[in-house]
Structure 1
Amino acid sequence: MIAVLTGDLVHSSKLSEQQLNQAQQLLQQQINRHSQSGGRGELYRGDAFQLALPDARHAIKAALLAVCTLRANGVALTLSVGIGGGPVAKRSATAQQQAYVLSGRGLELTSRGELTVHSGNSAANHSLQLNTAFLSFLLQNLTRKQAEVLYDWVNHDFCEHHLVAERLQTSRQNVSLHLRKLGGHLVESYCQTFAQWLTDLPSAQNGEPSAQDGEPSAQDGEKK
């Protein structure tokens, strides 16, 4: 299965030109890092992006890094993750694979600044929904410093705190305090829960949507 992340910047029209340019650069950096392992992504409409990953197991890490890198710079992101059959499309604008459709539709249903996860199996979606809502709430309340610390910790697979401290040139105690206050252990627990959820997800998902039924595509949203 592949994963598709579709997102847009919150209140992009209120960002300064410098803030918007910086946010675009940060998202492009995330796209570039995944392109090295078969991912494909693009920025569009000036304030939105889409990233497709050939391995759905990397979806939540990619989502966390995208949210945190922007949060650390004072910008919020609305993000929808679609999980489904592949392969990764060469052009996302015309992609009809399940993950693309789910991600695009999901963004239309995602409240501003929140994170949601969607598969073609309604029972599986329901089982993960509450956990994802808690994670989304946690991410929305990150301070810039907490987002910076969480980004490094997630990026290095929940490494020991002293290693984060060395990279960020701060104390281990400071890193541990930030992670404790933001609920870092809950983030790690969610990643483990998602991995198990993905393993249990039926390979033949029920209710697979079609991109030919007139529903909004991934690039139709106008949320700001």
Structure 2
Amino acid sequence: MVTCLAAVITGDIVASQKVDKTKYEQILKRLKDLFDDLSERYQLRFDIFRGDEFQLVLPHPAHALRVATLIRLTLLAEQIDVRQSIAVGPIDQLRDNVKSSTGDAFVRSGHQLEEMKSELFRFSSSQPELEWHLSVTILLFDAHLTSLTKTEALVLSCYLFHPDEPHKSLAERLDKSRVNTTKLLNASAYSVVDTYLAYTQALIEQHAGDNQ
């Protein structure tokens, strides 16, 4: 029997102290607006604290990698990067103040973030087989996202937010030509990214259940 679990994402902005103050305030507003949008889409809850750190809880853990990817791409499009520690496990108590909640998923996510060095994604789970599969493949995924240009990240994030729209519609959203939009999507390996995120969703559903 599969036990229903939750996902916790703990993150912080890379080299935040080096960002111009005006731009940093804009980044924080962009981050909050993004979290509000993601909250509506995925019923997540979040806290932003200490200026450059955040924590999110997803009751439907299968969406964890997609949410983390959208966060990463949104900030990459602003030429800012972010570390994120993703954990799937049980939660003992979810408080109004998310960062003061307790449970295995919170412990794993927080400890991982403290241990992270050069990598910007890490994954852990109370489910050993799930952790075995995703803790390795996410490192390759991390390297791919790191290789994207600012514009490729922008276009890829637009696609992931609107995956069912044709390239012409995405181009209009981005104020770009359809040809250029398709070229940038191909350069970002958007179909491979989409396939990987579908794979992670299916794998998490298989091992961690779904709290629908």
Report the secondary structure of 2:79's partner residue: coil
Residue 190 of structure 2 corresponds to residue 184 of structure 1: yes
Q: Which amino acid aligns with 1:18?
A: T
Match of 1:62 among 60, 67, 81: 67
Structure 2 vs 1, CA of residues 53 and 88 (structure 1 numbering), >3 Å: closer, same or farther?
farther
Which residue does the alignment assign to 2:109?
103
Whole-angstrom distance in 1 between the partners of 2:117 and 2:193:
20
Q: How does 1:71-82 map to 2 (within 5 A)?
A: 71-82=76-87
Which residue does the alignment assign to 1:48?
53
Q: Is the 8 A contact 1:92 1:100 kept in 2?
A: no
Aligned residues: 203
Residue 175 of structure 2 corresponds to residue 172 of structure 1: no
Report the secondary structure of 1:51's partner residue: strand
Give the C-alpha shift of residue 69 in structure 1. Answer: 1.1
Where in structure 1 do 4 or more consecutive aligned residues deviate above 4 Å? none
Match of 1:27 among 7, 25, 31: 31
Q: How does 1:94-173 map to 2 (within 5 A)?
A: 94-112=100-118, 114-157=120-163, 159-173=165-179
Give the C-alpha shift of residue 123 in structure 1. Answer: 3.0
Structure 2 unaligned blocks of 5 or more: none
TM-score by length of structure 2 reads 0.87
Instruction: Name the % identity.
Output: 27
TM-score by length of structure 1 reads 0.83
Could you say which structure has the higher helix fraction?
2
Give the C-alpha shift of residue 119 in structure 1. Answer: 0.8
Structure 1 unaligned blocks of 5 or more: 204-224
Give the C-alpha shift of residue 12 in structure 1. Answer: 0.9
Report the secondary structure of 2:46's partner residue: strand
Give the C-alpha shift of residue 79 in structure 1. Answer: 0.7
